[in-house]
């Protein structure tokens, strides 16, 4: 019945207000970047949820592999000394 | 000798695979039990994926078909304000469909396949949308009762184990609250209006009450998917629990409107602190689900027509994008 191809998929990122990061909100199909932005506006900011939109072709995203995530993030696991709470500072010492 | 060797090798491989599967599955269940979210690229049992694709796409189809009964009243809304509100609500429903299709697509199905399943009648959608909206009060009753029941169902889905579905539901639930309140507002205005308006509101409540209770699905002992979905934390409460909660919150709202819930057996149970309600006509539910409802045919025809009549727009948009891409490539 439907022999049309899906339009490319875009991942949508929205900056909720000035000063904040863009955050992933979901995805949508569009013929091109401009349509992706216009559809993202209609789909994700109907209630003024954003002041800026990024649209990225889903196929252009490079992602780490969840099956490898244990090994991939392992190097940071034994480096507790990178956190300030690792160090015991005597109470007498202020503003440190 | 060789064949024997190969045979045993084959069996070993199979056993390893089965063991691997069991290990992966128990790790998966442990993650779910620990309330970790499962994401698109994570390993998941095939049945979990299938269940989610079915549930999320049915949900998406329901949002899309759900635009029709109310869209019916956009041109005849009683004031410009009511018209703009209704347009915004129907647009939200389309948006909800889009969020949900995207969530389903993360599980490896294409949008085209899902749309096809709806248009060919292979996929189901919520049977509530196969009822007609003969008066303006039906628009009020849908917002109040149908969206009210949907919220009851959907709030627990915000904590569903599958991340993309849960996040789509958070977005949807925020918007549903507007839908329910605008519906109740319509009912309130009618209930406080003329005798004819009150009658219209009552008749709409009479029409939508029982179908709304059916929206929660079959009773717990007849629900075939429930137990597994609970284990996977796709579902958090049983159909009957949610239905009871809906009745308990909605009856006082009907009382406030001065309207009568069409159930002679409805009574407050002081000991249980619940409303007891009469038996649901599951035969009607089965019939509507099987395609024999008042509007099943009309709804699918409308969707097919919209899809066919929109084809030239999709083709033009594709051609336009291709042309612009070609021009950009030439200029570069």
Is A90 inside any structural domain? no
pLDDT tens digits for range B296-322: 999 999 999 999 999 999 999 999 999
A92 in a structural domain: no
Calculate what percentage of chain B has a pLDDT beyond 90. 88
Residue A19: its pLDDT value, please? 96
At A67 the pLDDT is 85
Task: Report chain B residues whose CB lies below 8 A from the CB of A48.
Answer: none
**A11 contacts: CB under 8 Å, gap ≥ 6:** A24, A26, A27, A55, A56, A57, A58, A61
Domain containing A37 equals 2-63
B contact test, residue of A27, A42, A57, A61 with most B CBs within 10 A: A27
pLDDT at B129: 95
Number of domains in chain A: 1
Question: Does A25 map to a domain?
Answer: yes
> DSSP for B147-185?
HHHHHHHHTGGGG-SBHHHHHHHHHHHHHHHHHHHHHHH
Instruction: Encode pLDDT of B133-184 as tens digits.
Output: 999 999 999 999 999 999 999 999 999 999 999 999 999 999 999 999 999 9
Mean pLDDT of chain B: 92
Question: How far is residue B64's CA from residue B131's CA, in Å, rounded to a whole number?
Answer: 15
Could you tell me if residue A33 is inside a domain? Answer: yes
Q: State the nearest Cα–Cα gap between A83 and chain B, in angstroms.
A: 25
Residue A32, pLDDT > 60, answer yes
pLDDT at B37: 96
Q: What is the pLDDT of residues B214-256, one digit of tens each?
A: 999 998 887 777 889 999 999 999 999 999 999 999 999 999 9
Q: Chain A: nearest CA to B177, how far in angstroms? A: 13
Highest average pLDDT, of B123-127, B206-210, B217-221, comes from B206-210
Query: Does any domain span residue A91?
Result: no
Q: Considering the domain boundaries, does residue A87 fall inside one?
A: no
Q: What is the ipTM of this complex?
A: 0.87
**What is the nearest CA distance from A91 to chain B, expressed in angstroms?**
38
Band of the pLDDT at B91, cuts 50, 70, 90? Answer: very high
Q: What is the pTM of this model?
A: 0.90
Average pLDDT over all residues of chain A: 93
**Domain at A13, CATH number:** 3.10.20.520
Q: Do B320 and A31 touch (CB under 8 A)?
A: yes
Q: Which of A31, A47, A66 sits opposite B318 (nearest CB)?
A: A31
Number of helices (H) and strands (E) in chain A: give both, helices first: 2, 3
């Amino acid at each position: 019945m439907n022999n049309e191809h899906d339009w490319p998929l875009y991942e949508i990122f929205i900056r909720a207000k000035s000063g904040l990061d863009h955050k992933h909100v979901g995805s949508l199909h569009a013929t091109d970047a401009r349509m992706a932005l216009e559809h993202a506006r209609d789909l994700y900011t109907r209630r003024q949820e954003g002041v800026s939109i990024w649209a990225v072709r889903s196929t252009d995203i490079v992602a780490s592999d969840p099956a490898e995530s244990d090994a991939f993030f392992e190097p940071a696991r034994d480096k507790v000394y990178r956190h300030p709470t690792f160090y015991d500072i005597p109470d007498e010492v202020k503003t440190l | 000798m060789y064949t024997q060797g190969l045979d045993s090798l084959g069996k070993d491989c199979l056993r390893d695979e089965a063991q691997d599967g069991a290990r992966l599955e128990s790790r998966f269940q442990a993650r779910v039990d620990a309330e970790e979210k499962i994401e698109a690229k994570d390993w998941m049992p095939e049945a979990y994926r299938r269940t989610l694709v079915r549930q999320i796409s049915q949900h998406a189809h329901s949002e899309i078909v759900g635009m029709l009964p109310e869209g019916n009243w956009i041109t005849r809304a009683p004031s410009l304000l009511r018209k703009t509100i209704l347009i915004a609500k129907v647009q939200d429903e389309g948006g909800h469909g889009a969020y949900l299709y995207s969530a389903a697509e993360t599980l490896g199905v294409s949008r085209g396949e899902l749309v096809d399943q709806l248009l060919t009648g292979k996929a189901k959608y919520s049977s509530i949308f196969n009822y007609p909206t003969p008066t303006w009060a039906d628009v009020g009753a849908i917002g109040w009762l149908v969206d009210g029941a949907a919220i009851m169902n959907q709030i627990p889905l915000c904590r569903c184990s599958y991340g993309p579905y849960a996040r789509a539901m958070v977005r949807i639930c925020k918007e549903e609250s507007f839908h329910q309140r605008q519906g109740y507002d319509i009912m309130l205005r009618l209930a406080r209006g003329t005798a004819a308006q009150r009658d219209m509101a009552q008749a709409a409540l009479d029409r939508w009450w029982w179908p709304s209770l059916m929206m929660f699905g079959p009773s717990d002992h007849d629900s075939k998917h429930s137990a597994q979905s609970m284990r996977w934390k796709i579902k958090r409460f049983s159909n009957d629990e949610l239905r009871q909660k809906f009745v308990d919150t909605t009856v006082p709202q009907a009382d406030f409107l001065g309207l009568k819930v069409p159930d002679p057996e409805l009574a407050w149970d002081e000991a249980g602190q619940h409303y007891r309600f009469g038996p649901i006509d599951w035969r009607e539910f089965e019939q509507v689900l099987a395609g024999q409802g008042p509007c099943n045919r009309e709804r699918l025809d409308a969707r097919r027509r919209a899809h066919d009549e929109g084809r030239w727009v999709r083709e033009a948009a594709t051609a336009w994008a291709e042309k612009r891409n070609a021009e950009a490539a030439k200029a570069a």
